[in-house]
Amino acid sequence: MPTFKDRSVALKQLPDFDLVLFGGTGDLAMRKLLPALFRRFLAGQFPSHARIMGVARSKIDREQYVAQVEQSCRKYIPAGLDAARWTEFSRTLDYTPVDASNAGDFATLASKLSKQSAEVRVFFLSMAPALFQMTCANLAASNLVTAGTRVVLEKPLGQDRVSAEQINKSVGAIFSEPQIYRIDHYLGKEAVQNLLALRFGNSLFEPLWGRGRISHVQITVAEELGVEGRGAFYDQTGAMRDMVQNHMLQLLCIMAMEPPVSNHPDAVRDEKLKVLRALRPLEGNEVANNVVRGQYRAGAAKGAPVVGYLEEKGIPADSTTETFVAIKAQIDTWRWAGVPFYLRTGKRLQEQMADIVVNFEDVPHSLFERSSSAGPNRLVISLQPHDSITLTILAKNPGETMRLRPVDLRLDMDASVKTPQLDAYERLLTDVIKGNLTLFMRRDELDAAWRWVDPIREAWAQSDERPKGYTAGTWGPAASSSLIVRDGYAWHGEL
Ligand code: NAP
């Protein structure tokens, strides 16, 4: 009979794995993926046979690679590095120079992997998506794709539905759908999983979750940063493709989906897909009425002056790429008919924050006097900068008169949970190794998201209008406020 301790260890431990990190010297690998793996190692989750193989074109050797990873972990793990633990971890690291587009380079990788083949083999493609097709074909041609192999694809998965389909088709020719893990790191955030827990682990909210009880929902993902030296990349992408098509629509799905029949990955993904398919299409004039696109002008960030988007390095002077989007979306289902979902995201906004704000209907008849700030009940699920859930209710102001004021019931996850939380990539990487697809996007979800986004971008392409300007350090163009004010609401935080 296993002891409690034995069982907890058995639950935590990952199966033996080989993780091949294409783009292993890049920014994402160094800043997020390798520090995340090191943290899981420190947490005792690594099995006795774990191998992390960095792969890129650079002709460096193993020692040089390990030194690079160490430097990065020192930088991105604020608690500091325990020398002994680092040495243990570094034994799992290896490096092989491979040009993903050169079939001949895969032989060395194949011979290294065959020496000690683990049950689970993961190819994490942390490179430009233009290399995905070639990489997968070369992996297959080198007989590197085993039954226990998984492939992880980083965003952006396409520029539109057609290009996304091309990627899916070429990867799908080598890997079956259950072997493909499409990452949206927002789904790895603890707060997003808490939203699932809140909705489907409690009976309290379900009767209130829909039309008649909720007046409207707001989803905001605001960045204070500008394009940060990645101007050329960003100008080809824009806020719609960078944030809305993936992260924001995924948040909307988790917020709006019906209870899945189980927590099986496909049960969850089936429900998310239904939400995407129920999004009312925005085409032609509907776009001008329901979507605001903006571009930041010179202004301020953190109290210092900053240049406008068109003055950033690598941005053409006549660029019409949007750095801000606000959308009024409608979900045509029984649950959500007539309940608008307002989405808003942008760069160089007033603060760095992300939240989902559920605004409930007001009482049908108000008996009491209210303070000016007292509005209907509100539930705020905050993802950034702090992971918290706040329910605002009205309570009596102390004193003689019966006057109501808002009071927050707040659950601060950082302060209330003693166990350190997993960073999104820690969660997602361990899920890939464990084979849990729940937090990864299925091919049909991706397709449905592009189907909704493409016509909006097409309407912009056909319009002569430039994106609306907004001063860096504000909450976006005035038209974004009008979009919601005309319905009698206001953006949370802009009140
Ligand atoms: P990056 O810093 O430019 O790194 C690219 C990596 O790919 C480097 O290791 C590079 O090394 C390698 N590489 C390039 N061409 C290669 C080839 N032909 N064969 C093998 N390796 C090759 O890019 P990144 O920022 O890490 O981003 C990687 C991917 O993740 C991109 O698709 C990006 O859009 C996505 N992403 C990044 C972030 C982020 O925060 N950085 C966030 C979300 C998604 P060599 O030059 O030595 O080959």
* Per-residue model confidence as pLDDT tens digits over 390-409: 999 999 999 889 999 999 99
The answer to whether 448 and 273 have CB atoms below 8 angstroms apart is yes
Q: What is the mean pLDDT of the segment spanning 213-238?
A: 95
The answer to whether 321 and 295 have CB atoms below 8 angstroms apart is yes
The 10s digit of each residue's pLDDT in 294-323 is 999 999 999 999 999 999 999 999 999 999
**pLDDT on residue 224:** 97
The 10s digit of each residue's pLDDT in 140-179 is 999 999 988 999 999 889 999 999 999 999 999 999 999 9
- Which amino acid would we find at residue 275? V
Tokens 């492939």, located at residue: 151
Q: Which of 22, 127, 157 to mutate to test the pocket of ligand 1 (most atoms within 8 A of CB)?
A: 127
Cβ neighbours for 61, distance < 8 A, ≥ 6 positions apart: 95
The answer to whether 475 and 306 have CB atoms below 8 angstroms apart is no
Percent of the chain with pLDDT strictly greater than 90: 85
Angle at 231 between CA 229 and CA 237, to 5 degrees: 135
Tokens 């420190």, located at residue: 42
**pLDDT on residue 234:** 95
**Nearest alpha carbon, ligand 1 atom 44:** 155
The answer to whether 179 and 150 have CB atoms below 8 angstroms apart is yes
Query: What secondary structure letter does DSSP report for 70?
Result: H
| CA of residue 46 to ligand 1 center, whole Å | 25
Is 247 labeled as catalytic in the residue annotation?
yes
| CA of residue 110 to ligand 1 center, whole Å | 21
Cβ neighbours for 204, distance < 8 A, ≥ 6 positions apart: none
Q: Residue 372 — very low, low, confident or very high, per pLDDT cuts 50/70/90?
A: confident
**pLDDT on residue 131:** 94
| CA of residue 27 to ligand 1 center, whole Å | 7
Among the residue ranges 32-46, 419-433, 462-476, the one predicted with the least confidence is 419-433
Tell me phi and psi for residue 330, to 5 degrees: -125, 140
**Nearest alpha carbon, ligand 1 atom 30:** 126
**pLDDT on residue 155:** 86
With 90 as the cut, is the pLDDT of residue 57 above it? Answer: yes
Write out the E strands in 90-134: 93-97, 120-125
DSSP character string of 176-191 = -GGGEEE--GGGGSHH
The span from the CA of 205 to the CA of 189, in Å, is 21
| 69: helix, strand or coil | helix
Atom of ligand 1 nearest to the CA of 32: 40
- Which amino acid would we find at residue 441? M
**pLDDT on residue 495:** 60
The 10s digit of each residue's pLDDT in 430-471 is 999 999 999 999 999 999 999 999 999 999 999 999 999 999
Total-model pTM:
0.94
| CA of residue 127 to ligand 1 center, whole Å | 4
Residues with CB under 6 A from ligand 1: 22-29, 56-58, 98-101, 126-129, 131, 154-156
The 10s digit of each residue's pLDDT in 267-299 is 999 999 999 999 999 998 999 999 999 999 999
**Nearest alpha carbon, ligand 1 atom 25:** 27
Tell me phi and psi for residue 205, to 5 degrees: -90, -30
Among the residue ranges 7-11, 225-229, 283-287, 318-322, the one predicted with the least confidence is 7-11
Among candidate residues 185, 247, 386, 492, the one labeled active-site is 247
What integer best gives the mean pLDDT of the chain? 93
- Dihedral (Cα; 89, 185, 348, 215), 10-degree rounding: -150
Q: Residue 11 — very low, low, confident or very high, per pLDDT cuts 50/70/90?
A: very low
| CA of residue 28 to ligand 1 center, whole Å | 7
The answer to whether 277 and 449 have CB atoms below 8 angstroms apart is no
Among the residue ranges 73-77, 92-96, 196-200, the one predicted with the least confidence is 73-77
Q: Residue 12 — very low, low, confident or very high, per pLDDT cuts 50/70/90?
A: confident
| 350: helix, strand or coil | coil
How does strand 388-396 pair with strand 353-360?
A: unpaired
Of 79-93, 419-433, 454-468, highest mean pLDDT: 454-468
**Nearest alpha carbon, ligand 1 atom 10:** 23
